[in-house]
Chains A and B, each alone.
Chain A
Amino acid sequence: MSKILGIDLGTTNSCVAIIEGGEPKVLENREGNRTTPSIVAMSKNGERLVGQIAKRQAVTNPVNTLYSIKRLIGRRFTDSEVEKDVKLAPYKIIHVGDAIKIAMGGKEYTPQEISAFILQKLKADAEAKLGTKIEEAVITVPAYFNDAQRQATKDAGEIAGLKVRRIINEPTAAALAYGFNKKKNEKIVVYDLGGGTFDVSVLEVGADIVEVKATNGDTHLGGDDFDQRIITWIIDEFKKDQGIDLSKDQFALQRIKESAEKAKIELSTVTETEINQPFITSDAAGPKHLNLKFTRAKLEELVGDLIEQTIEPCRKALTDAKFQISDINEIIMVGGQTRMPLVLQTVEKFFNKKPNISVNPDEVVAIGAAVEAGILQGEVKDILLLDVTPLSLGIETLGGVMTRIIERNTTVPVSKSQVFSTAADGQTSVEIHILQGEREMADGNKTLGMFILSGIPSAPRGVPQVEVSFDIDANGILNVSAKDKATNKEQKITITDSTGLSKEEIEKMKKDAELHAEEDKEKKALIDLRNNADTLIYTTEKTLSEAGDKLKEETRKLIQDKLDALKKVKDSSNKTELESVLADFNKTVQQVGAELYQAAAKKEEPAPGGNEAGDATAPSGEEPKKAEEPIEGEIVK
Chain B
Amino acid sequence: MSDDMTQSGNNQSNSVEPQNLSEIDTLKLALESSKKEAQVNLDGWRRANADYQNLKKDTDKRMETMTQTAKIFLLADFLDVYDNFKVACKTIEGKNQSDGKVDKALYDGIIQIEKQFEELLVKWNVKRVETIGQRFNPEMHEAIGEESSDESVESVAEQVVVKEFTSGYSLNGIMIKPAKVMVGPSK
Query: What is A's interface to B at a CB cutoff of 8 Å?
Result: 28, 31-32, 43-45, 49, 53-54, 56-61, 63, 250-251, 254, 277-279, 282, 286-287, 384
Contacts and interface: CB of A to CB of B under 8 A. Distances in A.
A44 B144 contact: no
Interface in B147-187: 153, 156-159, 165, 175, 178, 180, 182-183
A57 B88 contact: no
Given A59-B143, A60-B183, A44 B138 contact: no
A251 B144 contact: yes
6 nearest CB pairs, A to B: A250-B145, A56-B142, A279-B87, A56-B138, A60-B146, A60-B143
A57 B160 CA distance: 12
Contacts of B139: 53
Contacts of A45: 135-136, 158-159
Interface string B127-147: 000000001101101111110
B69 interface: yes
- Majority secondary structure, B binding face: mixed
B91 A59 contact: no
Interface in B55-73: 69, 72-73
B44 A56 contact: no
Contacts of A254: 144, 180
A49 B140 CA distance: 13
A59 B145 CA distance: 6
A28, A54, A56 — most chain B CB neighbours (10 Å) = A56
Contacts of A63: 153
A45 B91 CA distance: 36
A541 to B, nearest CB: 45
Nearest to A44: B159
A273 to B, nearest CB: 16
B103 to A, nearest CB: 15
A250 to B, nearest CB: 4
Contact of B180 (A53, A58, A251, A384): A251
Contacts of B44: 384
B186 to A, nearest CB: 10
B91 A279 contact: yes
A301 B24 CA distance: 87
Contact of A32 (B69, B144, B183): B69
A277 B87 CA distance: 11
B84 A56 contact: no
A485 B159 CA distance: 75
A56 B145 contact: no
A57 B140 CA distance: 11
Contacts of B175: 31
B180 A49 contact: no
Nearest to B142: A56
